[in-house]
Chain A
C-alpha cells in the first residue's frame, strides 16, 4: 500500500471532503517525514478550513503557506509591472479582495519554492497557496 503524500493538494482536498462528509471537524496525521493537520470550523458546505502541512526533506523542512483569508490569488501585484512593483523579498504573493491587496509572506527565514495555485484563482481561508523552503 502506497503512503499518502501529505503535501499533495489533491490529497488534502480528498481528506477535507471526507471529513466534511463524515461530519468530523479535524484530523492530524504524522509520518516520519511528513505531517498534516486539517481543522474545519464547521461541517457544512461552506466549511472554513485551516491546513498546516510540512514535509521534512533531506535539505530541511519544506512548508506550505496557507491563505490567511479568502481572496483572489496573485503571485505578484496584478496592477503593477514587475519593475514598478518591487515587493519585499519574502512576499510569495497577494490575495486580492476588491481594490485591496493582502501580501502573503513566506515566513521567517523562508523563501518561495513554488506556487501551488494559478494566478487569479479564488482561494479559501487555509488553502495552501505556496510551498516554501528554508533560505540557503
Chain B
C-alpha cells in the first residue's frame, strides 16, 4: 500500500485506457504518454498496461507503506527518495516508510509512477483508468487527494532489481531515428490528412506550414492551438460523428483542437488531420505555451513508427529481465 501525502489537482490513476465503448459515449481515457507507462511497466516486469499514477501537477509526495519497487518515467521532475536524487527512469526497490517526492518538471510535463504489481483499483469496463468527466474508474472516479491510500497489485513474476536500481535510456534518444527532430524549437508532429482536409483549400497548406502554439485551454480532453486561423472555403454543416484521440478538428474560430486521451466520443467540427498514434506521447509531454508544427505522414510511415516503438518496449522488457537474471546468477 502507499499513501499520498502531498498532491495538486488532476493527478489520477491511469492505465492504457478502455477502448471499445465510444459507441455508448464512454471516452477511452488512459495515459497521456502511453510510451512512458509501457516502458515503466516493462522495466518492472509488470503487465505492459498495469495501472500507474499520472502526475501532472506538482509537487507530489507519497509514502510507501510496505516494501515495493517503483520507477518514475515520463517527465523528469527531479524525483527524490527520502531526499536523495533518483536517476530519471530508474527502477528502485524501497522499504516501508520511504517517501517519494516529485518536483516541478525540468523536461516534459507528465510523470508516471509505476509500481511493481500496478495500482490495484477496481476495474471498470476493462480498465483502471480514471475518467474525470464520467466520475468513474481510478480512485473513486476522481483525482487523487492527500490522504488517499492505494493498494498495490500482486507481482506475478517479480524482477530481482539490483540495489543500485535499473534504468533505461531516454526513449527520445533510443528512438531518435524514428522521430523527427524539433524544428527551430517546435515539436514536429506527424499527421495524416483527414476527411475534410480538402474543404480547407489554400488554408489547408497553412495548417501544415505554420507553427502553432498550445493554448492554456488545453487539458487531457484536447489541446486548443493558437495561430493564424484556418477555415473551410465555404461554411460546413456536419452531423456529429465519431472522434478518437489524435483527431485534429477545426472549430469556427479557425484554431485547431487536437483530441487527446479523454477525447470526446463524437463531434461535428470538420477534421483536417489525424496525429499518428506513435506521436501522441510526445504531445502528452508538450507543455502549454510550447510550439508545434504538423508534418504529413503516410499510413505506412505511421505503421513503421508504431512498430519501432513496440520493438523498443519489448527490448526493454526482455533486457531488463536478462540483466537482473545475470546479476543474480553472478552474485
Contact = CB atoms under 8 A, between A and B. Distances in A.
Interface string A76-94: 0111100111111101001
A127 B263 CA distance: 53
A102 B85 contact: no
Nearest to B173: A79
A108 to B, nearest CB: 11
Given A80-B88, A84-B107, A99-B312, A69 B330 contact: yes
A88 to B, nearest CB: 6
A96 B168 CA distance: 9
B85 A88 contact: yes
A85 B168 CA distance: 12
A32 interface: no
Contacts of A125: 330
Nearest to A76: B87
Q: Report the interface size class on chain A.
A: 20 to 34
- Which of A79, A83, A104 has the most C-beta atoms of chain B within 10 angstroms of its own C-beta? A79
Contacts of A97: 319, 322-323
Nearest to A104: B164
B191 to A, nearest CB: 27
The dominant DSSP class at the A interface is loop
Interface residues on B, range: 20 to 34
A99 B316 CA distance: 6
A117 interface: no
Interface in A92-136: 94, 96-105, 125
Given A99-B315, A100-B319, A88 B162 contact: no
A87 B87 contact: yes
A68 interface: yes
Contact of A85 (B88, B164, B172): B88
A46 to B, nearest CB: 14
B122 interface: no
Given A84-B76, A84-B106, A96-B169, A102 B87 contact: no
B86 interface: yes
B254 to A, nearest CB: 36
A111 to B, nearest CB: 15
Interface string B143-168: 00000000000000000001111111
Interface string B170-190: 101110000000000000000
Contact of A78 (B76, B162, B169): B169
A100 B87 contact: no
The 5 A-B residue pairs with the shortest CB-CB distance in the complex, in nearest-first order: A79-B173, A79-B169, A79-B170, A101-B167, A98-B319
17 contacts: A68-B327, A68-B330, A69-B327, A77-B167, A77-B169, A79-B169, A80-B170, A85-B88, A86-B87, A91-B87, A96-B169, A97-B319, A100-B323, A102-B162, A102-B164, A102-B167, A103-B167
